[in-house]
């Protein structure tokens, strides 16, 4: 179908009956070279890069609900690469570089907007940590700068930079290349591009068991029948432990709710992203005008995609502390996702003791920014049966060797 204004009107008036779907909806084949479990951004990106970079096209993405319906469609879309340790910085920076060409690569506008991300400092120790991280970022070739409270006052006029604020702002780190992207478009863009390379995207297809033969993966059982594959990549975020237990594995991962909120739409008031670890909240403004707000995880473990009232109150208090002007804004809706948290606040992109079974999880509160880089490195790991040098440090092995990469300080959203 041609994309003309007339077609747009016709489709709107006919309930989109004749709209050509952007990807096929095939019946699952009996066998694939690779099965990816989880149709979030990471799973779809993995399938895309398997086909594009490694020529592996007999690939299925199995999604129990609808693609992007998990954390991918529930996150607050912040993209940055300013992590402390070299291992993490390089991984997230690979992702940043892919983001910078993603709309062109997928031929789909993912609305990547490099509007900058500020991480505020409220104490002398915050400022020392900021300076240390900025230096570490620069040594890794990542753009980062320290800005003063006076610069913040000019750049973000509604931010309360007064010295008598409850948590006075002493300065911030700024990554100018950081920003936001449109989360749904990321899922749809990867889905459409993967589909066009022959990947089968199968929604409403829950994996209920993982079968092994002679120490290697052989098939998955699903609500739509048995699907055989010699390689299975599992990318199910908050459900990672559940899938791991199907293969007799235990992961060092806990699942927590993480909430987000949007306000009623406003005229443009905030053209960047502001995060504060100490006050503990963050806010940006979407292209529709809504304030997009979040804070940290709900402390308890759970799989319900909702959080508790104390976290809602805490988040609102934080945002109003930072931006008193927002106290009169009405909130429109809130929701929760389930994030998978590792003890060192870093992900797992790894082979497992079961041959042909790979896990990608543990992104906690911060995996959206990693979507392209995660898919790119996971595809390499699956195709070559060995990690790429960028994800080798994120192997499961680190939990036995002790070579943890502690990124709690750079997580920005506590988890």
Enumerate binding residues for ligand PYC (CB under 6 A): 76, 78, 80, 282, 294, 365-366, 412-413
Residue 116 binds which entry of ligand FAD, ligand PYC, none, CB below 5-8 Å type-dependent: none
CA–CA separation, 347 and 330 (whole Å): 35
Relative to beta strand 59-62, strand 145-148 is unpaired
Q: Phi and psi at residue 19, in whole multiples of 5°?
A: -70, 130
Residue 292 binds which entry of ligand FAD, ligand PYC, none, CB below 5-8 Å type-dependent: none
For 206-302, strand residue ranges (E) read 207-213, 216-222, 225-234, 254-263, 273-276, 281-285, 291-297
Q: Phi and psi at residue 289, in whole multiples of 5°?
A: 105, -10
What the block records as the tokens of 160 is 């309360």
Instruction: Name which of 78 and 354 has its Cβ closer to ligand PYC.
Output: 78
Instruction: Name which of 59 and 235 has its Cβ closer to ligand FAD.
Output: 235
SS3 349: strand
Instruction: Name which of 170 and 339 has its Cβ closer to ligand FAD.
Output: 339
Instruction: Name which of 236 and 357 has its Cβ closer to ligand FAD.
Output: 236
Instruction: Name which of 356 and 373 has its Cβ closer to ligand PYC.
Output: 373
Contact yes or no for 215/202 (Cβ under 8 A): no
Instruction: Name which of 32 and 368 has its Cβ closer to ligand FAD.
Output: 368
Residue 38 binds which entry of ligand FAD, ligand PYC, none, CB below 5-8 Å type-dependent: ligand FAD
Instruction: Name which of 217 and 262 has its Cβ closer to ligand PYC.
Output: 262
CA–CA separation, 218 and 220 (whole Å): 7
CA–CA separation, 261 and 177 (whole Å): 24
Residue 194 binds which entry of ligand PYC, ligand FAD, none, CB below 5-8 Å type-dependent: none
Residue 412 binds which entry of ligand FAD, ligand PYC, none, CB below 5-8 Å type-dependent: ligand PYC
402-406 contacts, C-beta under 8 A, 24 or more apart = 404/343, 404/344, 404/346, 405/85, 405/87, 405/88, 405/344, 405/346, 406/85, 406/344, 406/345, 406/346
> Considering the complex, what minimum distance in angstroms separates the CB of residue 352 from ligand PYC?
26
Contact yes or no for 232/217 (Cβ under 8 A): yes
Residue 206 binds which entry of ligand FAD, ligand PYC, none, CB below 5-8 Å type-dependent: ligand FAD
DSSP H stretches of helix in 55-140: 86-106, 124-139
> Considering the complex, what minimum distance in angstroms separates the CB of residue 326 from ligand FAD?
18
Residue 72 binds which entry of ligand FAD, ligand PYC, none, CB below 5-8 Å type-dependent: ligand FAD
Output b/e per residue, 112-140; b: 16+ Cβ within 10 A.
bbbbbbbbbbbeeebbebbeebbebbeeb
Residue 74 binds which entry of ligand FAD, ligand PYC, none, CB below 5-8 Å type-dependent: ligand FAD
Comparing CA positions, the residue from 255, 404, 276, 227 lying closest to residue 337 is 255
What the block records as the tokens of 367 is 């995996």
Chain contacts with ligand FAD (rule: CB under 6 A): 37-43, 62-65, 69-72, 74-78, 206-207, 235-237, 239, 243, 258-260, 294, 337, 339, 363, 365-369
Instruction: Name which of 140 and 286 has its Cβ closer to ligand FAD.
Output: 286
> Considering the complex, what minimum distance in angstroms separates the CB of residue 144 from ligand PYC?
14
> Considering the complex, what minimum distance in angstroms separates the CB of residue 177 from ligand FAD?
15
Answer left, alpha or beta for residue 198, where phi above 0 means left and psi between -120 and 50 means alpha.
Answer: left
> CA geometry: angle at 316 spanning 314 and 320, to 5°?
120
> Considering the complex, what minimum distance in angstroms separates the CB of residue 366 from ligand PYC?
3
Residue 339 binds which entry of ligand FAD, ligand PYC, none, CB below 5-8 Å type-dependent: ligand FAD
Instruction: Name which of 42 and 94 has its Cβ closer to ligand FAD.
Output: 42
């Amino acid at each position: 179908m041609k994309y003309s204004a007339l077609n747009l009107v016709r489709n709107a008036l006919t309930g989109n009956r004749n709209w050509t779907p952007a990807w096929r909806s095939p019946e699952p084949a009996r066998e694939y070279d690779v099965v990816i479990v989880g149709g979030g951004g990471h799973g779809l990106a993995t399938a895309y890069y398997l086909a594009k970079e490694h020529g592996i096209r007999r690939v299925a993405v199995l999604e129990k609900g609808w693609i992007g319906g998990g954390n991918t469609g529930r996150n607050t879309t912040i993209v940055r690469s300013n992590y402390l340790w070299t291992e993490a910085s390089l991984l997230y920076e690979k992702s940043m570089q892919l983001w910078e060409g993603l709309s062109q690569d997928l031929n789909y506008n993912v609305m990547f907007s490099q509007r900058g991300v500020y991480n505020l400092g409220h104490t002398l120790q915050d400022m020392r940590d900021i300076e240390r991280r900025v230096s570490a970022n620069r040594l890794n070739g990542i753009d980062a700068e320290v800005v003063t409270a006076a610069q913040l006052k000019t750049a973000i006029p509604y931010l309360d930079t007064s010295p008598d604020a409850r948590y006075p702002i002493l300065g911030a780190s700024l990554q100018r290349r950081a920003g936001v992207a449109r989360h749904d478009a990321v899922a749809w863009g990867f889905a459409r591009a993967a589909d066009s390379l022959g990947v089968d995207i199968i929604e409403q297809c829950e994996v209920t068991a993982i079968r092994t033969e002679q120490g290697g993966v052989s098939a998955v059982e699903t609500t739509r029948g048995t699907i055989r594959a010699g390689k299975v990549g599992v990318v199910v975020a908050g459900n990672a432990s559940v899938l791991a237990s199907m293969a007799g594995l235990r992961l060092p991962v806990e699942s927590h709710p993480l909430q987000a909120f949007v306000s009623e739409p406003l005229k443009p008031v905030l053209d960047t992203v502001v995060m504060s670890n100490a006050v503990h909240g963050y806010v940006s403004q979407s292209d529709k005008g809504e304030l997009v707000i979040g804070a940290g995880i709900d402390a308890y473990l759970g799989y319900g995609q909702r959080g508790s009232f104390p976290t809602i109150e805490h988040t609102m208090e934080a945002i109003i502390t930072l931006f008193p002007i927002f106290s009169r804004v009405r909130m429109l809706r809130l929701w929760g996702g389930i994030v998978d948290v590792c003890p060192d606040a870093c992900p797992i992109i790894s082979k497992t003791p079961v041959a042909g079974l790979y896990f990608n999880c543990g992104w906690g509160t911060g995996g959206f920014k990693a979507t392209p880089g995660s898919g790119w490195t996971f595809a390499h790991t699956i195709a070559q049966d060995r990690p790429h040098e960028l994800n080798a440090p994120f192997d499961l092995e680190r939990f036995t060797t002790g070579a943890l990469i502690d990124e709690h300080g750079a997580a920005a959203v506590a988890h």
